[in-house]
Structure 1
């Protein structure tokens, strides 16, 4: 029995060694797959199936065309200056209340998340806007960096999310159902952020003092400015998510609507130029190429891995006998949480998730759920779990984005500041696992 799993086990070891060495992920996945196919004497004609899967599953996949469109939408929205105006309006509305900047950052994080799924752009943008103001107001920088990093990562969960599109493609779950299923968990997570900020503002106001007293603007003018600044992103959100949920447009078509709408907003705001358009197109192509190449490599790796008995090895590994299915689910979630310390969500989504998802889909959780409902529920729980991979050291990307914005902040301060928000995300994950209807209610109602 053990001899049957030597090859797939060796493949996993080789993969982790290659990833931790810093080697390019796409090359590592494809190279390890081909090398083990040769060493294990897999017929070369079998690898031709990989070419077919790459062509039909990635290169001609109409659904994946939404990825570059959503990336472009996010970059153009960043160029429009809407977030900067919202920050000023929300901070002015808070006035002399403790935690005003913190609430403003969290609210903008939700709005940006529902408008774009570009984590790097959101974290960098909010860091550049909020960190100098928070420092001048006397904020505890652990609190400031934690709020900015956590709020900036909401876009990976709240739709439209690139991660949900890729997970849906990998697990064959309708993207519209994933978008609807992610709304309640995303709002729950944002609500927990707000609760934590409110509790801190009440019981430890010195960590989030109000800004220095200046000439207060009339409240009516501030409210009107805030409403005007909210109209454009709200229309963009409704045009993207509304068309998907209503069944008027596919995710790809709605992504095109969003890209066009964000470009129009940048034009109306006077921020659209040839330089900004060139940068957005270049960054879109670069990010899309990276994602597509990892998907191609993952296709080759998984094809050879399954051929060498990898599926059976994983199934036996998670076969705990007569135990609660929640034990199996907890082990899977724990494994993915730990991998998030070291691997990017793309690598986990394309390599690990397709292997463990069928195991969870065949479990009986006692809620009368169908396999398709279990897969939908599991996918959203995964998304909540994978969001922590942006925040958990040592390789949390949001932490390094933030460090790049302000190099004067010690990395240890950023690490300590993110701990409460990682705990909040674990609480949200437990809630999603314990109450499947948080995920399944809205898709069920819409159907």
Structure 2
């Protein structure tokens, strides 16, 4: 066997061995890359000067990568919404709205999971929060434990496919680099870039289809097995009067406005994902503060109204003061804009002060730093691993392997999807994203295909979502097991997630056979 091929195969074996042993991912990636880099230099299969590329690679692809700045911002947005009890209000009111129907509590969990996915995108927080709030009620009302736990775990993973999502941001960075590399390899020295906004748009429709499949499953169980998902007796539910719908509106409106502001600005091209993430982070802070007391709520509403007026003013008046002649109306608008900006900054400062006094802001910042540091450490380790892998000729070997398969791109994509699904039983999505995707994506995108990087990125994202539910190492299962009562056995949780894994695979098959479900919205918007 050629020494290059032997070292490439050995890299993967050693890497997977360390990952399965529970060694930290970042150190595993970086350490394996460094170890085999030294072996390659000693055996003469890797040029030592090749590793000198690493500092420039880290500086250009990680440190100065503007897209990755969105990660801590989206994380802080999600953690703040978690701490401000948005999920509690949503679950309570949705449960009352659908509780009179058989399967209503399961439907409400799915809808709330979708709303939290579009506003937080943090799977662990969503699963734990919904389990603590809804599982006792579902079990008390006679829900089958497997159905109840499976519904909560599956709804919690929707944050992986419904944008804005941390996984989609990481995939956008990896797939974009692979797409440019694939175009350069084919002789196109002016490669067409792929933006994170396009991947967000491509994932939106499949994400909503998956939510629809979950709801249809809840309805089917309610019809076929009425005893598994009983309705709440009418005598124990609230009257759906004007007061109830008022509470429902107050629970739904703030997160919906935040979702529309963040996701809408990305999809319409008004803002980049990083800029939209900053809007989301600030909006989450103000929303969290507004829920503390009535006085703060009034200040936050006033600050947001000032922001709306300021944006409107910038569209109707020319606020540039360096012109030779400035009309009086524009001068008045200019000073009015300054006053509105100061008023908004006061509202934001007050929101920061109140969340700090409530011991919420500090917890949010600690969680944001911890999660973001972990992701950036993995990025650095993955950069070293992929650099050594390419230096040993691993990318060329993978490309030759995939191109040599009978059936062309279809067989290659099928093989890669099966590989990722199997790896999802043992590895989490970050490990697969930084180990497998950079290796196989350039080869897949270099083949003669019709649908390009957005379709491939959404396929991979949908596949990675199953890694949260597949035993034995599905992270959503671990989160759920930590808060589920001892009376619910682990086997019940595993049985409960199996139908939802099958539903995810059916959704994956659907978008594989109907790529227009992915490409339609990006083509329309971009």
Shared topology, TM-score over 0.5?
A: yes
Q: Equivalences for 1:192-203 in 2 at 5 Å?
A: 192-203=213-224
Matched, 1:256 2:270: no
Kept after mapping to 1: 8 A contact 2:425/2:474 = yes
Say which of 282, 290, 314 aligns to 1:268.
Answer: 290
Task: Choose 1 or 2 for highest CA Rg.
Answer: 2
- Describe the SS at the equivalent of 1:390: coil
Q: Equivalences for 1:31-430 in 2 at 5 Å?
A: 31-41=31-41, 42-172=46-176, 173-212=194-233, 214-220=235-241, 221-270=243-292, 272-274=355-357, 275-365=359-449, 369=450, 373-408=451-486, 409-430=488-509
Superposed CA RMSD in Å reads 1.5
Kept after mapping to 2: 8 A contact 1:320/1:328 = no
The normalised TM-score by structure 1 is: 0.96
Q: What count of residue pairs does the alignment treat as equivalent?
A: 441
Kept after mapping to 1: 8 A contact 2:405/2:412 = no
- Describe the SS at the equivalent of 1:262: helix
User: Aligned pair in 2 of structure 1 residues 335, 259: CA closer, same or farther (>3 Å)?
Assistant: same
List structure 1 segments (4+ residues) > 6 angstroms apart after TM superposition.
none
Kept after mapping to 2: 8 A contact 1:295/1:350 = yes
Which residues of structure 1 form unaligned runs of 5+? Answer: none
Residues 244-284 of structure 1 deviation map (CA, whole Å, 9 limit, x = unaligned): 11211111110000011111111111183542211111011
Residues 371-428 of structure 1 deviation map (CA, whole Å, 9 limit, x = unaligned): xx41110000100000000000110000000011124122111111100000000000
Provide the residue aligned with 1:22 in structure 2: 22
Matched, 1:446 2:525: yes
The normalised TM-score by structure 2 is: 0.82
CA apart distance, 1:117? 1.0
- Describe the SS at the equivalent of 2:360: helix
Kept after mapping to 2: 8 A contact 1:137/1:212 = no
Return the alpha-carbon distance in structure 1 between the equivalents of residues 253 and 467 of structure 2.
Answer: 32
CA apart distance, 1:203? 1.4
Kept after mapping to 2: 8 A contact 1:58/1:296 = yes
Residues 116-146 of structure 1 deviation map (CA, whole Å, 9 limit, x = unaligned): 1111111011111111111111110100000
Deviates more, 1:158-167 or 1:41-50: 41-50
Return the alpha-carbon distance in structure 1 between the equivalents of residues 70 and 470 of structure 2.
Answer: 28
CA apart distance, 1:2? 3.9
- Describe the SS at the equivalent of 2:467: helix
CA apart distance, 1:201? 0.8
Return the alpha-carbon distance in structure 1 between the equivalents of residues 382 and 90 of structure 2.
Answer: 40
Kept after mapping to 2: 8 A contact 1:110/1:190 = yes
Which residues of structure 2 form unaligned runs of 5+? Answer: 177-193, 294-354
Kept after mapping to 2: 8 A contact 1:76/1:266 = yes
CA apart distance, 1:43? 4.0
Kept after mapping to 2: 8 A contact 1:337/1:386 = yes
Kept after mapping to 1: 8 A contact 2:150/2:500 = yes
Residues 85-138 of structure 1 deviation map (CA, whole Å, 9 limit, x = unaligned): 121111112243211211110010110011111111110111111111111111
Provide the residue aligned with 2:349 in structure 1: none
Provide the residue aligned with 2:333 in structure 1: none
Return the alpha-carbon distance in structure 2 between the equivalents of residues 245 and 216 of structure 1.
Answer: 39
Return the alpha-carbon distance in structure 2 between the equivalents of residues 6 and 216 of structure 1.
Answer: 66
